[in-house]
Structure 1
Amino acid sequence: MQSFEFIDLILFLGVSQGVFLAVTIQIIQNKNRDANKVLSIILLIASIMLTGRLFYFRYSDSEWLFRVAAFVDTLIFVFGPLFYLYFRRLVFNETPLYKLHFSNFIPAACMIGYYFWTLSYSYEEFFLLFNQGILVIPYFIMETVGIFFNIYYCYRCFQLIRTYQKEEKKNLSYSQSLIPFLYSFLITVLLFLTLWLLSYSKVYFLHVYTSVINYNLVWVSIPISIYVIGFYSLKQPEIFRMPLSKKNLTRNKERLEGQAIEDLNQKLENLMVTEKIYLNHKLTLVDLANQLNTSTNNVSWLLNNIHKSSFYDYINTYRVKTFVEKIEKGEHHHHTLLALSMDSGFNSKSTFNKAFKTVIKDTPSNYIKKLNTI
């Protein structure tokens, strides 16, 4: 058994915090439940892998612990699919609940098959084959597949973020501040993959072994990743999950014509001008469609084709105009700009500033300065 080292402490802390966060998310976080179940599984798998690596570092002379450590390495092939599943369940509302196809786990199954093949060799025979270089090619192939397999799922997660950004403007009139969380999550995973790729390239292509960038650094990055992911997930409030648009839906079924357009547009104008429905901080496309007694597709079609606007821009234009009216009445002399923006229907300073600049083509402070000079 090796002496206790600093990396052992890091791995131990990673294991303990991974288990703690996996359990805490289920106990405290009652929100985003379907997504958080997947996140807890990810955190537990990461903890298991760190435990296996801890066994490998400290008990490599023990055959059964070495075998356990070798088996948990196969779990690296399930991270990518699970990350994608977590992202998809977190941001999209799908019925039935989205599940991964078995084909996503074929590489993991192949890796497990390879592991059981190695069991046909004794502990001494395995290390003899490894030292002779006979197992280098299989390990090279598996590691190559593992790296690019996970990079592929990071790319798919990035595509989900782009799709979410498009759907957000179609369905929400406010910002959920979810994008920074998703990018932080993805960047953390990419950091781990980058370190892994660097270590892999140095070993297999450059045949360089250094104490700066090596596999130890890769394993140290996992506890850091666990902390970042778990911390952000605990902070993340319940979010409005977007309906995922189906490409095979025909637009003609929801297209409005003639009097139907005029009637729906008149109802919409009444809700906006008379009832001021836009003052609802968390107004969604579903809410508006329910008020209009029609489908969300009809409302989207009306906004896109008649008003030439997304739901997000349409609602926030009314909010900006309400804010401007308050400024022109001099209410900013008695209230903060943030308070006035909230009274106008905005739910955050960032959403307000962005919408104001889009509509007025200026910042709120500059607009007020110009108004005072008139």
Structure 2
Amino acid sequence: MDVIDFVVFLGISQGIFLAIVLQVLQNKNRLANRVLSMILIIASIMLTGRFFFTVGFPNIFFFRLALFVDILVFIFGPLFYLYYRRLIFNEKTKYVLKYTYFIPALGMVIYHLWTYQYSYDEFFLMFQNGSLTGPFLIVETVGIIFNFYFGYRCFQLLKMYQREEKNNVSYSQHLATYLKTILVISALFLLLWIASYILAYFFNIYSSFLSYNAIWIVVSVFIYVIGFYSLKQPDIFRMPLLRKEQAKNRERLEGQILQELKAGLEKLMIEEKIYLDHKLTLVDLAKNLKTSTNNVSWLLNNIHKTTFYEYINTYRVRAFVEKIKSGEHHQHTLLALSMDSGFNSKSTFNKAFKMIVKDTPSGYVKKIDSL
């Protein structure tokens, strides 16, 4: 067993360990982590198959088993889509994958069962004389297209999340960066896969570094990195998944109802200073106003011409500015004053302040002190 084989073996044990630990965690994105555990188990199985394949295990059964794990390549895409959806959206009915998403995997099962009619020697001879090149080409082509399709579906979910985040939370969860990083690295893996695909089938160039086996081993290791990150990931506020037809059916607020809602919102912000709650969400605000989140969103978007994120953080920035004007920054740090104003992190504070004041906090303070 060489160093690479040892690393692969270590990855298998780590994948199983992470899958178990993620299930033990309480109140931390449990539905999403359940899917991630499944992905980790599949990655471990793939690494196990690749381990037997690359070390040249003499047992023919294990050699066949190693080839059989190619089926799992067609399961990664749908499961990652399910992971994204359960991690970032809160749906009244728990979303489950459609059976049609697993048709390619079923096709792979049928294909591998078909190869079992041949002995190991016959199979190896067919591989050497190119008889299996056509089926392999079809399998990889479908695999690339299939995984790109679900990568695009995940990208759509990310765009929806970024749009809805500003309408539902008043702070940054830093989730978009995490999801974007997964997509970018996954896209890189797919591009490397395409490169090895083109070199192998169109130029007959086979690289030990840029190969199907090497790429999927790296993919499995990358999934373990995601698993480790999820161990310390805080509980996430999931966005309501609003359908287009639901958005169109939002009722327009008018008359007495509109005036009462406007007055109630003003009282919460000015008298009760609800914006000082670091984790304030649209749901919290709607509960305090004793109305629906749709009504609050309509009021903010159509009357105040702003998003929930911008509206709440405008009040927080105003509170911070008042503290600066009263000279509190001479006794306390800017970060401490921002926290007292309702912000929950330095990054959210800096981003909101620059968006609203058109200046950095330190730059603004210097201007105030120079007056």
How far the C-alpha of 1:26 sits from its partner, in A, is: 1.2
- Corresponding residue for residue 266 of structure 2: 269
Structure 1 residue ranges, 4+ long, deviating more than 3 angstroms after superposition: 250-253
Q: From 84, 87, 93, give the equivalent of 2:84.
A: 87
| TM-score for the superposition, normalised by structure 1 | 0.96
How far the C-alpha of 1:214 sits from its partner, in A, is: 2.8
How far the C-alpha of 1:208 sits from its partner, in A, is: 1.3
| Pair 210,72 (structure 1): closer, same or farther in 2 beyond 3 Å | closer
8 Å CA contact 1:93, 1:241 repeated in 2: yes
Counterpart check, 1:98 vs 2:95: yes
- Corresponding residue for residue 315 of structure 1: 312
- Corresponding residue for residue 283 of structure 2: 286
Counterpart check, 1:109 vs 2:120: no
- Corresponding residue for residue 7 of structure 2: 10
Mapped partners of 1:39, 1:144: distance in 2: 26
8 Å CA contact 1:346, 1:352 repeated in 2: yes
How far the C-alpha of 1:253 sits from its partner, in A, is: 4.7
Q: How does 1:251-266 map to 2 (within 5 A)?
A: 251=248, 253-266=250-263
Q: How does 1:117-136 map to 2 (within 5 A)?
A: 117-136=114-133
- Corresponding residue for residue 145 of structure 1: 142
- Corresponding residue for residue 296 of structure 2: 299
Q: From 201, 204, 207, give the equivalent of 1:207.
A: 204
Deviations 1:14-48 (A, max 9, x none): 11111111111112354110110000000000000
- Corresponding residue for residue 360 of structure 2: 363
- Corresponding residue for residue 349 of structure 1: 346
How far the C-alpha of 1:227 sits from its partner, in A, is: 3.0
Deviates more, 1:354-363 or 1:62-71: 62-71
Residue type at the aligned position of 1:199: S
Structure 1 SS opposite 2:324: helix
Deviations 1:303-335 (A, max 9, x none): 011100001100000000000000000000001
- Corresponding residue for residue 167 of structure 1: 164
Deviates more, 1:147-156 or 1:287-296: 147-156
Counterpart check, 1:338 vs 2:338: no
- Corresponding residue for residue 20 of structure 1: 17
Counterpart check, 1:237 vs 2:234: yes
Mapped partners of 1:134, 1:299: distance in 2: 64
- Corresponding residue for residue 73 of structure 2: 76
8 Å CA contact 1:59, 1:65 repeated in 2: no
Residue type at the aligned position of 2:333: T
| TM-score for the superposition, normalised by structure 2 | 0.96
Structure 2 SS opposite 1:20: helix
How far the C-alpha of 1:60 sits from its partner, in A, is: 4.8
How far the C-alpha of 1:116 sits from its partner, in A, is: 0.6
Alignment coverage as a number of residue pairs:
371
Deviates more, 1:352-361 or 1:116-125: 116-125
Structure 1 SS opposite 2:154: helix
Q: Percent identity?
A: 62
How far the C-alpha of 1:120 sits from its partner, in A, is: 1.4
Mapped partners of 2:164, 2:247: distance in 1: 18
Residue type at the aligned position of 1:230: G
Mapped partners of 1:209, 1:322: distance in 2: 63
- Corresponding residue for residue 185 of structure 1: 182
Residue type at the aligned position of 1:107: P
Mapped partners of 1:265, 1:284: distance in 2: 18
Counterpart check, 1:325 vs 2:322: yes
Unpaired runs of 5+ in structure 2?
none
Deviations 1:158-189 (A, max 9, x none): 11111001111111011111112212222332
RMSD of the TM alignment (CA)?
A: 1.4
Unpaired runs of 5+ in structure 1?
none
Mapped partners of 2:249, 2:161: distance in 1: 24
8 Å CA contact 1:15, 1:51 repeated in 2: yes
- Corresponding residue for residue 65 of structure 1: 62
Mapped partners of 2:219, 2:249: distance in 1: 50
| Pair 187,224 (structure 1): closer, same or farther in 2 beyond 3 Å | farther
8 Å CA contact 2:170, 2:313 repeated in 1: yes
How far the C-alpha of 1:154 sits from its partner, in A, is: 1.2
8 Å CA contact 1:195, 1:217 repeated in 2: no
Deviates more, 1:264-273 or 1:20-29: 20-29
